């Protein structure tokens, strides 16, 4: 069964997208493919979306690459299949090419091959002569710069692997490879289940980010009055939701410019305020004058945070890549560098085994050590840059490691 013409395939009232991702109806250029979706007899819903709706949202992110002209070439896709973004991009750009992996298929056929290609897609006939077939691994690079990881592209048939496995694959694909130790190792399992729940409840990523912003304020207030335990609970809740909102946006294809600014703006601004509130809370909870070292320690932590972000920005501007993806060591150090989540680990451990004051000192010391490491990284990068342009170890096929998936 084939989908309706392009003006209904690329816009579906049941699959609303945020304003910044309004689908394009394409153009009348007959060299561009007209999209045709083979619908599944029994659709499997993943993160609240049917296969057709997922494809509609993916295609809405490709403005100007699809045609209104049904008589020309066609991009023929199967609603029962998951197409990784690089795979779909490759199909859009290459006529008379197809992808196949374990029964999952997709193709971009020229006008003369459309009928035969459709029969092949539906399993009624062999692939037509002139249709070049490749596997996902052959047509797209494994390096994902936006997600800072190496990951093999995929094309999967949902009915073959099951809804749960398909959702896990989509969720895995939405996760960044280089991040802090908490986000990388502690949050994935609970975040997967909460992301699924949010999708089923039709919660938008911006709704999750708004709840995260409320927890930012709650954590600040609790820290300010010296109620460190509830403050840490609110802070950890915020960091968890900070993981969920991004995964929800990617798995449901509802990213927007405003959502990106909202989420990253909160992430960038709030940590210094938490440290300031913690310092104030140390005095408020003790009911006595602040120790002499408290203000210098606060200046070190806040100044170190700002300096660290400026160093990262300088690295991107100077070397055209993020600091934490240059070498294996740099990716490892991102796990524990003095940023919000590793610092919360120090503060939480101190509250359990020592004192809130001790935790604040630990964060100050770790901030200084992290800055020293950053300065060494900059010096090493400048030295390397004199000889050759820097290249990320993740962008080298010989450096592939499943750890970064």
Residues 33-48: b if buried by 16+ CB within 10 A, e if exposed: bbbbbbbbeebbebbb
- pLDDT range class, residue 62, cuts 50, 70, 90: confident
At 27 the three-state DSSP class reads strand
- Tens digit of each residue's pLDDT (9 = 90 or more) over 74-133: 999 999 999 998 899 899 988 999 999 988 999 999 999 999 999 999 989 999 999 999
Report the mean per-residue pLDDT for the chain. Answer: 87
Q: What residues form DSSP beta bridges with 82?
A: 156
Kindly report which listed range (172-186, 207-221, 371-385) carries the lowest average pLDDT score. Answer: 172-186
CB 66 within 8 A of CB 10: yes
Using the structure block, give the residue that is written with the tokens 């991004």: 246
Tell me the CA end-to-end span of the chain in Å, nearest whole number. Answer: 36
Residues 153-184: b if buried by 16+ CB within 10 A, e if exposed: bbbbbbbebeeeebbebbbebbbbbbbbebbb
User: Across residues 130-156, what is the average pLDDT?
Assistant: 81
- Tens digit of each residue's pLDDT (9 = 90 or more) over 243-263: 999 999 999 999 888 888 888
What φ, ψ does residue 100 adopt, rounded to 5°?
-145, 135
Percent of the chain at pLDDT above 90? 70
Name the strand (E) or helix (H) holding 385. Answer: helix 356-387
Give the pLDDT confidence score for residue 146 in this predicted structure.
67
Using the structure block, give the residue that is written with the tokens 């196949």: 100
Nearest CA-CA partner of 343 in 368, 372, 313, 364: 364
The token pair that represents 316 in the structure block: 């991107």
How far apart CA 193 and CA 207 sit, in angstroms, is 17
How far apart CA 20 and CA 306 sit, in angstroms, is 31
Q: Is the pLDDT of residue 232 over 50?
A: yes
The token pair that represents 386 in the structure block: 């004199």
More confident residue, 106 or 394: 106
63 exposure class (CB count in 10 Å sphere: 0-12, 13-18, 19+): middle
């Amino acid at each position: 069964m084939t989908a309706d013409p392009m003006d209904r395939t690329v816009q579906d009232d049941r699959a609303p997208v945020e304003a910044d991702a309004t689908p394009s109806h394409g153009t009348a250029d007959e060299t561009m493919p007209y999209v045709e979706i083979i619908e599944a007899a029994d659709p499997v819903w993943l993160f609240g979306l049917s296969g057709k709706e997922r494809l509609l949202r993916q295609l809405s992110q490709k403005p100007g690459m699809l045609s209104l002209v049904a008589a020309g070439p066609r991009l023929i896709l199967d609603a029962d299949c998951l197409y990784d973004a690089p795979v779909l991009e490759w199909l859009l750009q290459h006529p008379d090419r197809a992808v196949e992996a374990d029964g999952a298929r997709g193709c971009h056929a020229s006008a003369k091959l459309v009928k035969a290609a459709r029969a092949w897609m539906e399993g009624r006939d062999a692939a037509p002569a002139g249709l070049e077939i490749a596997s996902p691994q052959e047509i797209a690079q494994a390096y994902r710069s936006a997600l800072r990881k190496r990951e093999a592209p995929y094309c999967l048939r949902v009915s073959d692997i099951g809804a749960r496995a398909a959702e896990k694959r989509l969720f895995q694909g939405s996760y960044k490879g280089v991040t802090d130790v908490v986000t990388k190792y502690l949050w994935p399992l609970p975040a997967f289940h909460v992301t699924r729940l949010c999708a089923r409840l039709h919660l938008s990523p911006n709704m999750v980010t708004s709840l995260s912003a409320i927890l930012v304020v709650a954590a600040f207030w609790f820290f300010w009055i010296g109620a460190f335990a509830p403050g840490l609970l609110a802070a950890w809740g915020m960091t968890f939701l900070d993981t969920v909102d991004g995964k929800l946006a990617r798995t449901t294809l509802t990213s927007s410019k405003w959502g990106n600014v909202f989420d990253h703006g909160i992430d960038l601004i709030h940590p210094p305020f938490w440290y300031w509130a913690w310092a104030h809370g140390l005095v408020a909870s003790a009911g006595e004058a602040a120790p002499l070292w408290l203000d210098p320690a606060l200046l070190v932590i806040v100044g170190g945070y700002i300096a660290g972000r400026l160093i990262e920005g300088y690295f991107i501007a100077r070397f055209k890549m993020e600091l934490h993806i240059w070498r294996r060591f740099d990716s490892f150090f991102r796990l524990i560098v003095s940023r919000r989540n590793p610092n919360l680990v120090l503060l939480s451990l101190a509250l359990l085994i020592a004192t809130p004051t001790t935790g604040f000192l630990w964060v100050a010391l770790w901030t200084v050590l992290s800055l020293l490491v950053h300065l060494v990284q900059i010096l090493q990068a400048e030295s390397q840059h004199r000889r050759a342009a820097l290249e990320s170890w993740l962008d080298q096929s010989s450096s592939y490691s499943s750890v970064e998936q």
